[in-house]
Amino acid sequence: MKSSNDPPQGKVRLTISAGIASVLVAGVLVALKLWALAETGALSIAASLADSAMDLVMSLGAAAAIVYAARPADEDHAFGHTSAEDLTALGQSAFIMVSAGLISWTAVARLSAETPPELASEGRGLIVMVISIALTLGLVWWQGRVARRTGSKVVAADRLHYLGDLLPSLGAILALWISSRFGIGSVDAVVALLAAGVMAIGALRIGKDAWDALMDRAADPTILNGIAGIARDWPGVRGFHDLKTRRAGSRVFVNLHIELDGDQSLREAHAIGAGLRRAILAAYPHADVIIHKDVHGD
């Protein structure tokens, strides 16, 4: 994902605006679905409500992480504050897993009951779910625009999460429609089980990614190969070694040793290293690059 030529402050404002929009939409959805749950008693709406509640928590965490991670490096955090994003994501994944388990437990209990509870006011529930889908689509559109203009991985990840949230909402609409049309209330619990499964899979994916970053796992092999290709072909570089990377939040930290002609001037060596660093940053805008210069053949 490439960033635009917007000024840095403009990108920060756009990113924060996406975070605020995410929090506002999630708050409205929670309120609407609470009312719909009280009116219908539909477990599928409860699953969608739990998902929206988690969205609200995640959006608040993401907004806080965006603001905190944007702080520059200081004396106590020489590499910046981007690990706040990973800590937030790890906590969110645990919360999602617990909620998915509770929804699954309730759904199984309803399916095994001799007389499944009947749903009520399906029409009102349908209206609320349609509104929630419309709001989510509007948010996803804005997040996509911000992500394209700023290159923010946090906003892009939040957008992907909201796209995945459309499934529980569509499932709730299906369950309410089938209950209203055919009187089959058990579909509601089945849809809730499917939604809980989707939530659990997403939680595992988020948690693994955050854990890998906190454990300083190397960046994706495609990034490593891309950086190696740039260094290999850069004019004046005779060779390179000890290419190391680690991830923290939306940033990738890169350490690279390049081998240069020992007879050239310090100014020439510096120009080669600075040019290579700019080329890597142009290809990977969210990288933090440190280049060490060694004499070729030593």
Per-residue burial over 102-128, b if 16 or more Cβ lie within 10 Å, else e, is ebbebbeebeeeeebeebebbeebbeb
pLDDT in tens, the chain (298 residues): 444 444 445 666 777 788 788 888 888 888 888 888 787 777 667 767 777 777 787 777 777 766 765 666 556 554 555 666 677 677 767 777 887 787 788 778 767 766 655 554 556 767 877 888 888 889 889 888 887 777 666 676 677 667 666 766 676 677 667 766 766 656 767 777 777 787 788 778 777 877 876 776 777 888 889 999 999 999 999 999 989 888 766 678 899 999 999 888 999 999 999 999 999 988 888 788 989 999 987 6
Contact of 103 with 195, CB cutoff 8 Å: yes
**How many residues are present in the chain?**
298
Residues 6+ apart with CB under 8 A from 265: none
Q: What is the pLDDT of residue 227?
A: 93
pLDDT at 220: 80
**Considering the entire predicted model, what is its pTM?**
0.55
What crossing angle do the helices spanning 266-283 and 221-233 adopt, rounded to 10°? 140
User: Can you give the pLDDT at residue 280?
Assistant: 92
CA 187/CA 44 separation, integer angstroms: 9
